[in-house]
């Protein structure tokens, strides 16, 4: 499949991934709606998804649509964590061999989680780009089928199934707040949502530390940004120099872009714990962080903010949340 994915592909993905991905809750946040004068703010809780992030949707759609011969060869990927976990999970559930290539930069608890799901892990290189080179070498030498994290029509269509779940429950949604890194998530959600409901307002939320997609949109071609650490580590990394799908789709469907700081992300994480009793990773909290700092005017609007995952080291999490608790408890 080489054409851009369509709404039809998203419906097919929805049917295909039923056994791998759960339909996560869509809960109302009265405190966030009140603070922002919104008609409603709902949170789509992909932190409760299998493997702890939405990425299982795209990975399942891709792997389950491979031919019997491709499934026999096995799959390979590179990932900062959540995509690797998703590929390992789906491959493990379907009896397909999987190798996940990581850089030395990826936290060891993430590599361990991938191994526990039954995939082989290959750690090589100091950056995401070096891990990617290792992946190309291994894919060639071992004849494995590449499962890329975002720039693939089947991955994009899988992530787009989120829109079907959101709009079947809340068809009058005005604004969708979606995290933006490689853009598979936003491309899938936006293409499905706009096809169903053309007036919906799509907001991409990027991190100040790694706005690769924003810089690429400005230049009109994929550009590299300096790789810095972020509490939202799932949003780090570039969009790929040979980007074919997510850059044009994000350009076509995004109505507004927001950038959030590290402090705003931490505020969002604390708010999810304090008000909703939910543990979420940094990447998941960027939309809530943007709402808390009133980076976007949602007065009178029906808003949905995606909570994309919960994969964070317990110690790191406790430092962030514990540091914000009022001393009287």
- Residues near ligand PLP (CB under 6 A) are 53, 55, 82, 150, 179-186, 234-235, 281, 283-284, 308-309
**Phi and psi of 110, rounded to 5°?**
-70, -45
Q: Smaller CB distance to ligand PLP: residue 241 or 297?
A: 241
Q: Is the Cβ of residue 33 or residue 148 nearer to ligand PLP in the bound state?
A: 148
Least distance between ligand PLP and beta carbon 281 (Å): 6
Strand partners, 146: 76
- Measured in degrees and rounded to the nearest 5, phi and psi for residue 179 equal -70, 150
Angle, in degrees to the nearest 10, between helices 7-16 and 184-196? 110
> Is the CB of 35 or the CB of 244 nearer to ligand PLP?
244
Instruction: Give the DSSP H/E element, type plus range, for residue 139.
Output: helix 128-142
User: CB of 249: closest distance to ligand PLP in angstroms?
Assistant: 11
Choice between 139 and 185, CB closer to ligand PLP: 185
Looking at the Cβ atoms of 203 and 284, the one nearer to ligand PLP is: 284
Q: How many other CB atoms are there within 10 angstroms of residue 109's CB atom?
A: 14
Q: In what order do the strands lie in the sheet with 120-123?
A: 120-123, 98-102, 75-78, 145-146
Q: CA angle, corner 299, sides to 297 and 305, nearest 5?
A: 70
Q: Please say whether the beta carbons of 101 and 131 come within 8 A.
A: yes
Report the nearest approach of ligand PLP to the CB of residue 188 (Å).
8
Two tokens, residue 155: 């991955």
Q: Nearest approach, Cβ of 326 to ligand PLP (angstroms)? A: 28
**Min separation Cβ 134 and ligand PLP, Å:** 20
Edge-to-edge strand list for the sheet holding 40-45: 26-28, 40-45, 302-307, 175-179, 201-207, 256-260
Smallest separation (angstroms) from ligand PLP to the CB of 183:
5
d(CA 292, CA 295): 8
Residue number, 160 or 184, with CB nearest to ligand PLP: 184
* Pick 64 or 185: Cβ nearer ligand PLP: 185
- CB-based burial label for 53 (10 Å; 0-12, 13-18, 19+): buried
Least distance in angstroms from the C-beta of 151 to ligand PLP: 9
Strand partners, 309: 53
**Given the complex with ligand PLP, which of 150 and 317 has the nearer CB atom?**
150
CB of 49 to ligand PLP, least distance (A): 10
Nearer to ligand PLP, 29 or 128 (CB): 128
Rounded Cα distance between 132 and 37, Å, is 45
Going 3 to 101 to 182 to 197, the CA torsion angle's sign is: positive
DSSP helix/strand/coil, 15: helix
Q: Residue 208 burial by CB count (10 A; 0-12/13-18/19+): exposed, middle or buried?
A: middle
Q: How far is the CB of 55 from ligand PLP (least distance, A)?
A: 5
């Amino acid at each position: 499949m080489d054409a851009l994915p369509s709404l039809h592909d998203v419906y097919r993905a929805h049917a295909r991934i039923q056994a791998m991905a759960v339909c996560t809750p869509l809960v109302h946040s009265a405190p966030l709606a009140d603070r922002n004068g919104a008609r409603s703010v709902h949170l789509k809780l992909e932190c409760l998804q299998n493997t702890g992030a939405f990425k299982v949707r795209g990975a399942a759609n891709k792997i389950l649509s491979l031919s019997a011969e491709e499934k026999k060869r096995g799959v390979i990927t590179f990932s900062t964590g959540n995509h690797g976990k998703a590929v390992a999970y789906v491959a493990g559930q379907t009896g397909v061999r999987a190798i996940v290539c990581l850089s030395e930069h990826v936290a060891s608890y993430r590599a361990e989680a991938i191994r526990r799901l039954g995939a082989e892990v290959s750690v090589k290189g100091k950056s995401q780009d070096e891990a990617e080179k290792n992946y190309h070498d291994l894919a060639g030498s071992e004849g494995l089928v590449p499962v890329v994290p975002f720039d693939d029509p089947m991955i994009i269509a899988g992530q787009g199934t989120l829109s079907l779940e959101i709009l079947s429950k809340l068809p009058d949604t005005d604004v969708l707040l979606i995290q933006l890194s490689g853009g598979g998530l936003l491309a899938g959600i936006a293409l499905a949502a706009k096809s169903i409901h053309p007036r919906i307002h799509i907001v991409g939320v990027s991190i100040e530390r790694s706005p690769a997609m924003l810089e690429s949109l400005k230049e009109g071609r994929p550009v590299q940004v300096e790789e810095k650490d972020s509490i939202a580590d799932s949003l780090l990394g570039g969009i790929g120099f040979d980007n074919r799908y997510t850059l044009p789709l994000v350009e076509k469907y995004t109505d507004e872009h927001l950038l959030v700081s590290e402090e705003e992300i931490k505020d969002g994480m604390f708010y999810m714990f304090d008000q909703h009793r939910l543990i979420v990773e940094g990447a998941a909290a960027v939309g809530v962080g943007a709402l808390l700092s009133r980076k976007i005017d949602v007065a009178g609007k029906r808003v949905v903010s995606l909570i994309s995952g919960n994969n964070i080291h317990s110690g790191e999490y406790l430092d962030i949340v514990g540091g914000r608790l009022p001393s009287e408890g």
